[in-house]
Amino acid sequence: MKKLLIGLLMLAFAATTTAQEIPSQRETLGAMRRVNDYFMKKYADPTAVMPYFSRRKNYESNIWTRAVYYEGLMALYSIYPENRYYDYAYDWAEFHKWGMRVDNTTTRNADNYCCAQTYIDLYNLTPEPKMLTKTIACMNMLVNTPQVDDWTWIDAIQMGMPVLVKLGKLKNDPRYYEKAWEMYAWARNTLAGGLYNQKEGLWWRDKDFVPPYKEPNGKNCYWSRGNGWVVAALVRVLQDLPADDPHRDVYIADLQAMCKAAKACQRKDGFWNVSLHDESNFGGKETTGTALFVYGMAWGINNGVLDRKEYLPATLKGWNAMVNEAVHENGFLGYVQGTGKEPKDGQPVTYNSVPDFEDYGTGCFLLAGSEVYKLQ
């Protein structure tokens, strides 16, 4: 009896300790606003081109990196609806005439239609027909053509899949859900034998990283942010997908398996390395992969997909690590790996290093914060 009582007291203490570790909503929102304020102040004109100095060229500001930022901004707006957030997003979309990057309505490149996620979010707030004319045209082109082999790299799953699902929900049309599944399943199961390794619960970034390619330590190469993109895609699909969708259980199982695999290789300090299975390969704190895993785990807890007791410690550890060690006093976000496709790209990654684009890191952080905010 005495042992039982002590055990119950210890469990109660553990539960209390965990609850106390959850940051207040005020603290979480404060960190999100600080990071976002830094970005909006530095990039005050949402229509300005984005210089890529190493390539000596400029990119249009509806490219994927900026589109991911707006995903995060809309998540922030959903919990703290400041008019300036809406205006900043609306002015950006209006400048680009609500079109896709480069080819406006007929692109098959997910990086170029990722922006449509925010177009749909804005439409849902203040619907105007012009907002979605080009998005509908682009998605209808995907639905009405037989190709399913567009997403040859796993980043594309996050850039493209939620657009189809969001539009399917808006139009109450299951054709969009089914096309999303077909394209996802091709990347998952068919491309190079399947980019998803079900045995390890993680994805190879593209066909170039499927074995026999290995990390320096001889293990499979799983890039942190790439896997984080898939986690984010699954979250953003599941939150809009009907409960009776025939593929929903697969998406849930994939999210659960990925979060389990990610939790197993979390660093002691709460971050994740850029290489999930080889800490010697450019190992160190990295914010974007960390933010995306925290986003997925927090959403999973909030929506009953992940066990709270099992995943809350890892979620809080990751979030607190970013807030305490990556966020500068002025809101600059440190430890962000620059663009690329594998651990060696976008280096060095340090507290003070500035990536080639600052936008997507901010977006990832805001997405994570929007779900941590709901943990209570």
Q: What is the DSSP letter of 188?
A: I
Residue 7 pLDDT > 80:
no
- What is the pLDDT, as a whole number, of residue 214? 97
| pTM of the entire predicted model | 0.94
Task: Give the three-class secondary structure for 153.
Answer: strand
Given a cut of 70, whether residue 228 has pLDDT beyond it is yes
List, in order of start, the domains of the chain with CATH numbers: 32-372 (1.50.10.10)
Percent of the chain exceeding pLDDT 90 equals: 91
**Two tokens at 359?**
């936008």
- Residue 52: what pLDDT? 82
User: 187 and 209 in contact (C-beta within 8 Å)?
Assistant: no
Q: 260: helix, coil or strand?
A: helix
pLDDT in tens, 86-100: 999 999 999 999 999
pLDDT at 53: 73
Indicate if the alpha-carbon torsion angle 197, 201, 204, 209 is positive or negative: negative
Question: What CA–CA distance (Å, rounded) separates 204 from 153?
Answer: 9
Query: How far is residue 293's CA from residue 230's CA, in Å, rounded to a whole number?
Result: 10
- Region 7-12 average pLDDT: 47
The verdict on whether omega for the bond into residue 348 sits within 30 degrees of 0, i.e. cis, is yes
Pick from 66, 147, 156, 150: nearest CA to 356: 66
The overall average pLDDT reported for the chain is: 94
- Which stretches of the chain are DSSP H helices? 2-21, 25-42, 64-79, 83-95, 110-113, 116-125, 133-143, 155-171, 174-185, 224-238, 248-264, 287-302, 308-325, 359-372
pLDDT of residue 10: 47
**More confident: 19 or 261:** 261
Place of tokens 């207040």: 24
pLDDT at 15: 47
Give the torsion sign (CA, 249, 250, 251, 252): positive
pLDDT of residue 102: 85
One-letter amino acid at 20 equals: Q
- Which residue type does 170 have? L
Pairwise pLDDT comparison (105 vs 161), residue with the higher score = 161
User: What mean pLDDT comes out for the span 128-156?
Assistant: 98
pLDDT at 6: 46
| Position 19 confidence tier, pLDDT thresholds 50, 70, 90 | very low
> What does the pLDDT look like over 60-80, one tens digit per residue?
999 999 999 999 999 999 999
Q: Per-residue pLDDT averaged across 106-113, rounded?
A: 96
What tokens does 34 get?
């600080």
Check pLDDT > 80 for residue 14.
no
